[in-house]
Amino acid sequence: MGTSETAAGAVTPHVSIVIPAYNEARRIGDTIVKIEEFLHTFDASSELIVVDDGSSDDTAEIAERRRFPGLRVLRSGSNHGKGYSVRQGALDARGEFVLFSDADLSAPIEELPKLLAAARRENADVVVGSRALDRSLIGLHQPRFRESGGILFNLLVRVLLGLNIRDTQCGFKLFRRERAIDIFRRQTIPGFGFDPEILFLASRMNLKIIEVPVRWNHAEGSKIHFLRDGTRMFFDLVRIRWNSIRGIYS
């Protein structure tokens, strides 16, 4: 797989991997090592962007101590939210494709080639890693109340936003950067409710969205507080619909 070069001679990566991280000192080092090991066998040029979301621990320092070509660490001065971090990473990315992945690698980084192959085969602009298409690929499930809450949230996404996507919340999504960059420029939601917004924007922009089943395992240490953040995410759906009515996304 070839690479391209800018006028300055710098190689443009084929894939940019964006990892939003907030207080992930316990595992960010291992996450970077796993991605680095995968990239050594990956048949494409790449870069890894870790976006530290104003962590109060040593997340950024640990990430910056890892040294391999293509690794960059972006720091936020304060905590804004996962959506803000993904947006910053995507806007700073240089690759033809941009993948954002959760820092816990619940969907293993080894699933990336599956999403890339689907994007090329289907000429898709957005490829959504999905737990819902084939639940036999889920190794370790979330607690039952959280899994049920996710199914209910997806139903609300379908009703309020008209998105026919079975799993909007899996933290493993691939974008064809040139076609999808305006999604992130128009994104307004900084928190956990950003996934439905970027998919809603992609749909409004008539981008081709497909879902691909991925392997997934629940990882302890989630930053989502079920009731507090679940309530916020519901109101984010209302906000997305209201933004659309008011023409904010136009």
- Full pLDDT tens readout for the chain, 250 residues: 333 343 344 567 899 999 999 999 999 999 999 999 999 999 889 999 999 999 999 999 999 999 888 999 999 989 999 999 999 999 999 999 999 999 999 999 999 999 999 999 999 999 999 999 999 999 999 888 888 888 999 999 999 999 999 999 999 999 999 999 999 999 999 999 999 999 999 999 999 999 999 999 998 866 667 678 789 999 999 999 999 999 999 8
- Token digits for 40? 């050594």
Q: Give per-residue burial for 123-149: e unless 16+ CB within 10 Å, then b.
A: ebbbbbbbbbeeeeebeeebeeeeeeb
Beta-strand ranges (E) seen in the chain are 4-5, 11-12, 15-21, 46-52, 71-75, 97-101, 126-130, 172-176, 209-213
Nearest by Cα to 116 from 5, 205, 15 = 15
CA-to-CA distance for 87 and 89, rounded, in angstroms?
Answer: 5
- How buried is 7 (Cβ within 10 angstroms: 0-12 exposed, 13-18 middle, 19+ buried)? exposed
Nearest by Cα to 83 from 187, 207, 219 = 187
Helix, strand or coil, per DSSP, at residue 15: strand
Quote the pLDDT of residue 226.
63
According to DSSP, the residues that pair with 138 across neighbouring strands are 216
Which residues make Cβ contacts (< 8 Å) with residue 12, sequence separation at least 6?
A: 3, 4, 5, 6, 45, 94, 95, 96
Nearest by Cα to 29 from 135, 125, 103 = 103
- How buried is 64 (Cβ within 10 angstroms: 0-12 exposed, 13-18 middle, 19+ buried)? middle
CA-to-CA distance for 187 and 189, rounded, in angstroms?
Answer: 6
CA-to-CA distance for 243 and 172, rounded, in angstroms?
Answer: 25
pTM for this predicted structure: 0.92
CA-to-CA distance for 169 and 243, rounded, in angstroms?
Answer: 20
Quote the pLDDT of residue 249.
93
CA-to-CA distance for 208 and 205, rounded, in angstroms?
Answer: 9
